[in-house]
Structure 1
Amino acid sequence: MTLEGWTQTLGAGPLLGIAAAAIAVLLFLIMKLRMHAFIALIVVSLLTAFATGIPAGRIVSVLTGGFGSTLASVALLVGLGAMLGRIVETSGGAKVLADYLIDKFGEKRAPFALGVASLLFGFPIFFDAGLVVMLPVVFAVGHRLGGSVLSYGLPAAGAFSVMHIFVPPHPGPVAASEFFGANVGYVMIVGLIVALPTWYVTSYLFGLWAGRKWVLPIPSILGQADAEHEANPPRFATVVSVLLLPLLLIFLNTGLNTLNSAGVLPEGSADTLWYQVLRTLGDTPVALLISLLVAALALGLRRGMNSTAIEQVMEQALGPVCSVILITGAGGMFGGVLRTSGIGDALADVLGDLGVPLLLAGFLISGVLRIAQGSATVALTTTAGLLTTAVAAAGMNDFQLATMVVAVAAGSVIASHVNDSGFWLVGRFFDMDVKTTLKTWTVLETLIGVMGFGIAAGIFALASIG
């Protein structure tokens, strides 16, 4: 974003100093003064705009422009995704999914089955909500089979984490895609390629090892699943179909675009009505809307829920995600100020002079912010805002842009510790003390970030060939 009639007169040194001070103040406000991240981002955005010399009469328009442009896509995806996940949750679909997989995989591979169920269920639902929904099933299996809660819990919790970090429509990768101009469909492809093997090594195998090392009893903190859901559960095939529908629709969009770019489709196909309609159906907001309507019909109306009950379920889904949406928008506001002020250009010049590859820079900056203030969303959106100009100037192809999103996302998950709400959520539900949580959950999240970045770097190198 540029302001007509205004030119930045500050040099790279002062601009980078302002950027460093802005991030330091942001961390101080969130960590020391315990200011809500939404408010802190607005305050820091305002102060940064003044400090960098943006004309005072145009500061508010810069702030609202960055906020609105981010929410234009992110709010739709997060809101629709939350509604979809809530319907699957209240229908009893999570338990059906887990029970079916355990039956098919056998009791000895119950942790693997729970992890696979969590991967599927983690596509539309956020980490916190998905974990809370799946935990009654995790604990029930643990009580039945015996052993450490870590053997069952870490594969499931890690599955929700990798999906939440790497795969749209979760807010982190969606927001970074918006900042970098990456195609969400490509981000989904790269995210899944990174997420699945990363989960297997860092969550499933590590969870089995941790379960043998720390034999912790199965907690009784949660009650049994809702009897109403058990009385009229949806079929396994129905739940899977609902969860996979948005994935297939988005792949339709990406596939058509890829085929057209490669010259496989007849010349002029992009201008035809059928092509444009199919591409529109595969756009992420439309794909999620279609999937939500199908879920309301298949998991709601056809199972006896009236329209009022379905409306209430959707309404209940929006409250918990409002904070995520607003923080993401405020991160976009901060990024907009950084871009308008010319800080992004200065950072790009410095990175170029130092020879730090953008992919590594994104991972490291995001990781530092994550460790410092705890929020993966703040770390990811702040880093994406800082690197937007440099990424735009790099001339990356679609897969490189998608990999850039995933690399920044990988940095935003490392080293979950006492300033991260997820750290306390997992520790409390698994009935672990702080020391044990640091040895298990903190290590697991760090492994996810490091391995995820390693795979992303390999994909980036392959995408750079030719």
Structure 2
Amino acid sequence: MTSLSVEILAADAAEPITSAGNAQLGIAVLAGIAVIVLLITKFKLHAFLALTIGSLALGAFAGAPLADTIKSFTTGLGNTVAGVGVLIALGAILGKLLADSGGADQIVDTILAKASGRAMPWAMVLIASVIGLPLFFEVGIVLLIPVVLLVAKRGNYSLMRIGIPALAGLSVMHGLIPPHPGPLVAIDAVGANLGVTLALGLVVAIPTVIIAGPLFSRYAARWVDIPAPENMIPVRPSEDLEKRPGFGVTVATVLLPVVLMLVKALVDIVVDDPENGVQKVTDVIGSPLIALLAAVLVALFTLGRAAGFTKERLSTTVEKSLAPIAGVLMIVGAGGGFKQTLIDIGVGQMILEFSEDWSIPALLLAWLIAVAIRLATGSATVATISAAGLVAPLAEGMSTSHTALLVLAIGAGSLFFSHVNDAGFWLVKEYFGMTVGQTVKTWSVMETIISVVGIGFVLLLSLVL
């Protein structure tokens, strides 16, 4: 368990900063979330500011002293950024190197060269899933959309038959698999084991992405039969490069942090002896920080230098990768502040009592809370962070596997029915040249399938683990 997790559990056990009863706490939670939703949707305020103001409103409605509310918020913000900020930064660097070096294009071109006909949707979901591991969702879309449009046009495929599998691969990685920001924050919030969560996340992700991607795309292509829009086919990122890294070394670099974290999880399960020398080594190299740092250092050579980058260009690439994630870091940090405020006013205990009185399974309750916040705010990351804060106390006493499943339940709920308040909705609509109705029939339904199928597999796993 990480030091941040220990701090969170210690905070759970502390006395609440308000004496409000469950009824007032319930009203405070609804009011705080309503403030956030209103500021994001009606006033178009940045999620960082909305979460900050919403946290202060939450404390005020709960009757907590302003000084205590501010302390809770800043403590949560600091702990969250300390826990996941470096990991998000390392993931951004790895993703930028993958894109700028032409490594992503190399993966795409190699797989597409070996796929045709009915295999093409499966090739697209494979491409998106591999590339989606180190990339943020929006970056992955920008990178893959040109490929989707080119394949659909040149191969005379239905745009939805090719596009839906690619979007499903990216979305599933974003919601369920670390090192994406949402899953990382949820792992820290509930004190889950990252390696176990990653392993179980892959078990859930594979069948989910198959159902929501290649299988659903058959129906999506019938419902919305449109050609690839000519004006949306941009220049691919690596067309100005003289050379690109090889396929095998690129895939190995992308998968390196995943392999290291999975090895750690496997050794922890098989050896289960903290004093064992092998376990001590794997605990170090398989920790998220070291695994991602190792991948970045390797990528500087296997991707950057292989593409002919000079030391100056490598430095510039790293520098440019960090600027776009400032907003993400602040949203994640403010979400951590909101989560800590929820914990400190006593909402965790209220949720525990609620779940016991109504006999709602913890995993299903976590999913439902994430779904509600996702529908209201439109942000999968905000939904994940907020839901993790609300249900974190439910993890106390859970087994390692069930704590990991709690994270996956939250992640699945955070993807439910993307609609007009989600930036991703409009991104997909514009790139694919669809109407709002067509986007709902394809993208929104696909997201809902991912969410429902995801929680279904999570609940099935909970019965056997």
C-alpha distance in 2, partners of 1:343/1:222? Answer: 49
| Cα deviation, residue 427, structure 1 | 0.7
C-alpha distance in 2, partners of 1:59/1:440? Answer: 42
C-alpha distance in 2, partners of 1:382/1:187? Answer: 19
* DSSP 3-state at the match of 1:105: coil
Which residues in structure 2 correspond to 1:258-297 (within 5 Å)? 258-261=269-272, 270-271=274-275, 274-297=278-301
C-alpha distance in 2, partners of 1:254/1:439? Answer: 39
Q: Which residue of 1 aligns with 2:107?
A: 97
Q: Which residue of 2 aligns with 1:145?
A: 155
| Cα deviation, residue 107, structure 1 | 4.1
Q: Which residue of 1 aligns with 2:311?
A: 307
C-alpha distance in 2, partners of 1:288/1:456? Answer: 26
C-alpha distance in 1, partners of 2:266/2:97? Answer: 28
Q: Which residue of 1 aligns with 2:455?
A: 453
* 2:157 is the counterpart of 1:134: no
Q: Taking structure 1 as reference, are residues 5 and 232 closer, same or farther at Cα in structure 2, changes over 3 Å only?
A: closer
Q: Which residue of 2 aligns with 1:404?
A: 406
* 2:366 is the counterpart of 1:362: yes
Which residues in structure 2 correspond to 1:42-81 (within 5 Å)? 42-81=52-91
| Cα deviation, residue 228, structure 1 | 4.4
| Cα deviation, residue 24, structure 1 | 1.7
Q: CA RMSD for the aligned pairs? A: 1.8
C-alpha distance in 2, partners of 1:107/1:87? Answer: 31
| Cα deviation, residue 398, structure 1 | 1.0
Q: Which residue of 1 aligns with 2:209?
A: 199
Q: Which residue of 1 aligns with 2:8?
A: none
* DSSP 3-state at the match of 1:177: helix
Q: Which residue of 2 aligns with 1:121?
A: 131
| Cα deviation, residue 5, structure 1 | 7.9
The C-alpha deviation readout for 1:18-38, integer Å capped at 9, x for no partner, is 112211222122222222111
Q: Which residue of 2 aligns with 1:163?
A: 173
* DSSP 3-state at the match of 1:118: helix
Residues 436-445 or 200-209, more deviating: 200-209
Instruction: Judge conservation of contact 1:194–1:455 (CA < 8 Å) in 2.
Output: yes
| Cα deviation, residue 2, structure 1 | 6.2
| Cα deviation, residue 340, structure 1 | 0.9
Instruction: Judge conservation of contact 1:210–1:440 (CA < 8 Å) in 2.
Output: yes
Paired residue for 2:381, among 373, 377, 380? Answer: 377
* 2:391 is the counterpart of 1:387: yes
Which residues in structure 2 correspond to 1:325-344 (within 5 Å)? 325-344=329-348
Q: Taking structure 1 as reference, are residues 25 and 365 closer, same or farther at Cα in structure 2, changes over 3 Å only?
A: same
Instruction: Judge conservation of contact 1:362–1:404 (CA < 8 Å) in 2.
Output: yes
Q: Which residue of 1 aligns with 2:4?
A: none
The C-alpha deviation readout for 1:388-411, integer Å capped at 9, x for no partner, is 12332xx11111011111111111
C-alpha distance in 1, partners of 2:450/2:145? Answer: 21
C-alpha distance in 2, partners of 1:429/1:57? Answer: 46
C-alpha distance in 1, partners of 2:290/2:370? Answer: 30
C-alpha distance in 2, partners of 1:434/1:183? Answer: 40
Q: TM-score, normalised by structure 2?
A: 0.93
| Cα deviation, residue 108, structure 1 | 3.7
Which residues in structure 2 correspond to 1:251-262 (within 5 Å)? 251-261=262-272
Paired residue for 1:352, among 356, 359, 368? Answer: 356
The C-alpha deviation readout for 1:269-319, integer Å capped at 9, x for no partner, is 523555323311110111001001101111112332111111111122122
Instruction: Judge conservation of contact 1:149–1:219 (CA < 8 Å) in 2.
Output: no
C-alpha distance in 2, partners of 1:179/1:286? Answer: 20
The C-alpha deviation readout for 1:245-272, integer Å capped at 9, x for no partner, is 11111112212211232xxxxxxx5235
Q: Taking structure 1 as reference, are residues 294 and 227 closer, same or farther at Cα in structure 2, changes over 3 Å only?
A: closer
C-alpha distance in 1, partners of 2:323/2:42? Answer: 27
Which residues in structure 2 correspond to 1:4-43 (within 5 Å)? 8-43=18-53
Q: Which residue of 1 aligns with 2:260?
A: 249
C-alpha distance in 2, partners of 1:136/1:447? Answer: 25
Matched letter for residue 324 of structure 1: V
The C-alpha deviation readout for 1:391-437, integer Å capped at 9, x for no partner, is 32xx1111101111111111111110110000001111011011100
C-alpha distance in 1, partners of 2:434/2:68? Answer: 51
C-alpha distance in 2, partners of 1:194/1:277? Answer: 28
Matched letter for residue 441 of structure 2: K
Instruction: Judge conservation of contact 2:371–2:416 (CA < 8 Å) in 1.
Output: yes
The C-alpha deviation readout for 1:153-203, integer Å capped at 9, x for no partner, is 111111100101110000111111111000111111111111111111111
Instruction: Judge conservation of contact 1:16–1:347 (CA < 8 Å) in 2.
Output: no
C-alpha distance in 2, partners of 1:212/1:327? Answer: 38
Q: Taking structure 1 as reference, are residues 66 and 147 closer, same or farther at Cα in structure 2, changes over 3 Å only?
A: same
Matched letter for residue 460 of structure 1: S
Q: TM-score, normalised by structure 1?
A: 0.93
Unaligned runs of 5+ in 1: 262-268
Paired residue for 2:200, among 190, 197, 209? Answer: 190
C-alpha distance in 1, partners of 2:270/2:445? Answer: 41
Unaligned runs of 5+ in 2: 1-10
C-alpha distance in 2, partners of 1:2/1:98? Answer: 46
Paired residue for 1:179, among 163, 185, 189? Answer: 189
Q: Taking structure 1 as reference, are residues 244 and 2 closer, same or farther at Cα in structure 2, changes over 3 Å only?
A: closer
Q: Taking structure 1 as reference, are residues 3 and 409 closer, same or farther at Cα in structure 2, changes over 3 Å only?
A: closer
The C-alpha deviation readout for 1:2-54, integer Å capped at 9, x for no partner, is 69787642222222221122112221222222221111111121222233343
Paired residue for 2:242, among 221, 231, 234? Answer: 231
Q: Taking structure 1 as reference, are residues 343 and 179 closer, same or farther at Cα in structure 2, changes over 3 Å only?
A: same
How many residues align? The count is 454
Q: Which residue of 2 aligns with 1:266?
A: none
C-alpha distance in 1, partners of 2:228/2:16? Answer: 62
Q: Taking structure 1 as reference, are residues 284 and 368 closer, same or farther at Cα in structure 2, changes over 3 Å only?
A: same
C-alpha distance in 1, partners of 2:271/2:75? Answer: 33
